[in-house]
Chain A
Amino acid sequence: EAQVTQNPRYLITVTGKKLTVTCSQNMNHEYMSWYRQDPGLGLRQIYYSMNVEVTDKGDVPEGYKVSRKEKRNFPLILESPSPNQTSLYFCASTKSGQGGEQYFGPGTRLTVT
């Protein structure tokens, strides 16, 4: 089954404790992205990747890091999480030439206390 998977689905952590949210897709898509969803703001793009070792900032990159060492994986790293990063996070992948149609993962709900 074609899908985007994220782990963990739920995470509660404390300020300053480094964490990684994993994302994997099995569709051989070139592009992958991370978004955060906040009430009243919709989804905002954090980072995106156009292929292995090629990443770029989205609209809200501060406080986040990403890497793309393999085509299928695109982890999101919070090196020193803060309470304002409490949010619902989505990973997505896109096939080249599809006009940006994104396939979304199930989401990761992160709470930073």
Chain B
Amino acid sequence: AQSVTQLDSQVPVFEEAPVELRCNYSSSVSVYLFWYVQYPNQGLQLLLKYLSGSTLVKGINGFEAEFNKSQTSFHLRKPSVHISDTAEYFCAVSPNDYKLSFGAGTTVTVRA
């Protein structure tokens, strides 16, 4: 079984400041790793994914994440946020093509 812990439930940040969202996971098998974003009153959209290869993964909208196998972490970062980045962010892991386990989510609120 897999479990995902997002270490911050709420992250307030000022516009143009950097942000980091922390995600740790546990699994007895190798997993694929994902970050999804949910804008207010919308569905989920994939930000980025790690399947294999380089541990630094770049996604859409200027986000990137780094996979750290020894620390079982997959933290998400953006060097400069915009008001439009206000959303809820979910970290997720999957051991195969059909079973996905999500963290509880981190709400990012960007203020001017």
User: Closest Cβ of chain B: how far from A55's Cβ, in Å?
Assistant: 11
Residues B43 and A43 in contact, CB atoms below 8 Å apart: no
| Known contacts A90-B44, A104-B44, A107-B43: A99-B94 contact under CB 8 Å | yes
Given A99-B51, A100-B34, are A45 and B100 neighbors across the interface (CB < 8 Å)?
yes
Give how many B residues have a beta carbon under 8 Å from the other chain's beta carbons.
27
- Complex A-B: 29 CB contacts under 8 Å: A31-B97, A33-B98, A35-B102, A40-B105, A42-B103, A43-B92, A43-B102, A48-B98, A59-B101, A90-B43, A90-B44, A94-B97, A94-B98, A95-B97, A96-B97, A98-B97, A99-B94, A100-B32, A100-B94, A100-B96, A100-B98, A100-B99, A101-B46, A102-B44, A102-B100, A104-B44, A104-B45, A106-B42, A107-B42
| Chain B residues numbered 27-81 whose CB sits less than 8 Å from any CB in chain A | 32, 34, 36, 42-46, 49, 51
What distance in Å separates the Cβ of B8 from its nearest Cβ neighbour in chain A?
Answer: 13
| Docked-complex contact B44 and A99, CB < 8 angstroms | no
B99/A58 in contact, CB under 8 A? yes
* Interface residue ranges, A against B (CB under 8 Å): 30-31, 33, 35, 40-45, 48-50, 58-59, 90, 94-102, 104-107
- Asked if B34 contacts A101 (CB within 8 A), the reply is yes
| Shortest Cβ gap from B80 to chain A (Å) | 27
The answer to whether B99 touches A99 (Cβ under 8 A) is no
Could you tell me the distance between the alpha carbons of A31 and B99 in the complex, rounded to whole angstroms?
Answer: 10
Q: Are A99 and B43 in contact (CB under 8 A)?
A: no
B100 CB contact (under 8 Å) in A96, A100, A105: A100
Given contacts A98-B97, A99-B32, 20 further A-B contacts (CB under 8 A): A30-B97, A33-B100, A41-B104, A42-B6, A42-B90, A42-B102, A43-B44, A45-B100, A58-B99, A59-B101, A96-B97, A99-B51, A99-B94, A100-B98, A101-B49, A102-B46, A104-B36, A104-B44, A106-B43, A107-B43
